Chain A
């Protein structure tokens, strides 16, 4: 099969847009090329070259979906033949931005476990073709042949659709201060005018800085909040989640539309997270993790971006049937650790304030910072109270975090390794941290699922029992699979030959 012919001009156009950036950077301020006509000519020339290249690319690119593989032949300069076994495909994602939607094009990305990058990417096919591929792959993965589709595997059951209220709240709650880094780029642009406006030029520059810096800081945080809020809204606009057979299907986005599938049998962990604001309002988000890859971009991998907490929990329970949560907190002596740790931080802050007071001209009531000591027990308690673990029959559930509290559900049969560690300070209080490692992908970016500062002996016991329960769960699954196969063979003897 070929890509959509419209992808030729579109991809050529894309490369012109990329070139435009280079041109802007290279030629702004220089008079090397004679004005706009020169640049215009260059753009046209580039477009011609790019179209020719894309034409060859289009001719070389060939894909075919067979009964058990997806074969892709591609490459202009160096050729590549790739066969991806259908059963290994984990996610099929479709995305369309505004221009692509106007042209009726879609980009389709296929992910398998292992490998950090996307396994195959078809840029671009028609929207109908993308949807056909998505449902065909899902059908082939279930091992059904055409015509005999079971009704339950084709009907979609809508699980969740975001309401305008939830979307609005998401804009508020989804404030992501990680964007601060980006926003500080515009700092040099913003800063001088602010200083001119609010700072007295005849003043001591240090004092001027002291008056303008907080203003700028407030402005930066506000801008970041607004941008990230808007981004969250645009990303999750018209979000809906449906279930078809054993796959979750999602769709979202305002400017760029994403849709994709999350295979439920490949789910590694579930995590329900709620930040301080969301917790106050009784809302939470759910992230479903499959091996090697999480749907959406790294930062926004949620299966449900924001919904009522009880609803999120019951949806999570429909994906993995864990029992109601009943967390065991770490022993009280763990709290002393946090008191000690935060007290040290405050002591350092006070020391710095004192040093600044003594050694520079800035005089202020440095001892006021000692008031922070009052916050220490509160902070330690909050840290402690949000910790917990729950050892269930088939799942271990872990909870951590005050600012963003995350509850992670790990099925025993997904556990890869389990370890307990004790630092010097933990040993003094007979505490240990238990880490349960899965093949989920977020382990690389955020912390692994862990039970922090639990009793050392308990940690050892849990470590062993998690390992034992993993073996038991695997044995159970093997047994189940064998029975299913036997039943299938009993029902249809031809299966025996087909399965090998």
Chain B
């Protein structure tokens, strides 16, 4: 999705650039589009989450690969978020908040709304079961 936008921006930019004609823009758009499709596929393949016995493990990132461990004890609340683009494609994101400064970094995008809600309920239950009597 964002790749199409990027491609269009590049096309428009090259439309007015002194080098070449509009076809350069089209070429760039295609290249950018292909690249971002590859990128999106990679992103999708690398993305994974795992509900473990006492923590949530999250793996993501194409350029910078990040693995986050968020213990259930530390979960403050769990949101389901649906942005305009996500709504258009029937997707949803589950966001997990901790008291840490990077709290909102723990989010799981690209889920179907039902799955996102299930995950939200599940994480909430796990967080309650984990007995976080002092969160900070």
Tell me the complex Cα distance, A463–B55, Å. Answer: 12
Shortest beta-carbon distance from B103 to chain A in Å: 7
Q: How large is the interface on A (under 10, 10 to 19, 20 to 34, 35 or more residues)?
A: 35 or more
B85 is an interface residue with CB less than 8 A from chain A: no
- How far does the Cβ of B75 sit from chain A's closest Cβ, in whole Å? 10
Answer yes or no: A113 CB below 8 A from chain B CBs. yes
- CB-based A-B contact count at 8 angstroms: 91
Which A-chain residue is minimally distant from B132 (CB atoms)? A474
Give residues 288-326 of A contacting B (CB, 8 Å).
291-292
* Distance A279 CA – B124 CA, assembled complex (angstroms): 48
Against A, the Cβ 8 Å flags (1 = close, 0 = not) of B60-98 are 010111111111011000000000000000000000001
A441 at the interface (CB under 8 A from B): yes
Identify A416's interface contact among B64, B66, B67, B98, CB under 8 A: B98
Q: Which residues of A contact B64 (CB under 8 A)?
A: 421-424
| Total B residues in contact with A, Cβ cutoff 8 Å | 26
Asked whether, in the complex, the Cβ of A114 is within 8 Å of the Cβ of B65, the reply is no
Cβ-defined contact, A421 with B66, below 8 A: yes
A471 to B68 CA separation, bound complex (whole angstroms): 16
B101-136 interface code vs A (CB 8 A; 1 in, 0 out)? 111011000000000000000000000000101011
Contact of A417 with B65 at beta-carbon distance under 8 Å, contacts A266-B136, A268-B136 already known: no
Q: Flag whether A161 is at the interface (Cβ < 8 A).
A: no
Cβ of B63: which chain A residues have Cβ within 8 Å of it?
423-424
Interface presence of B21 (CB below 8 A): no
Interface centre among B55, B64, B69, B133 (most CB of A within 10 A): B69
Chain A residues positioned under 8 Å from B67 (CB to CB): 419-421, 460, 463
- What distance in Å separates the Cβ of A218 from its nearest Cβ neighbour in chain B? 38
Could you tell me the distance between the alpha carbons of A422 and B66 in the complex, rounded to whole angstroms? 6
A474 cross-chain contacts in B, Cβ below 8 A:
73
A residues near B102, Cβ cutoff 8 Å:
416-417, 419, 435, 437, 443, 448
CA distance A427 to B61 in the complex (A): 12
On B, residues with C-beta under 8 Å from A are 54-55, 61, 63-71, 73-74, 98-103, 105-106, 131, 133, 135-136
Question: Closest 3 CB pairs between A and B?
Answer: A416-B100, A443-B101, A437-B100
Contacts from A to B (Cβ < 8 Å): 113-114, 266, 268, 291-292, 414-424, 427, 435, 437-441, 443-444, 448, 460, 463-464, 466-467, 470-471, 474, 478
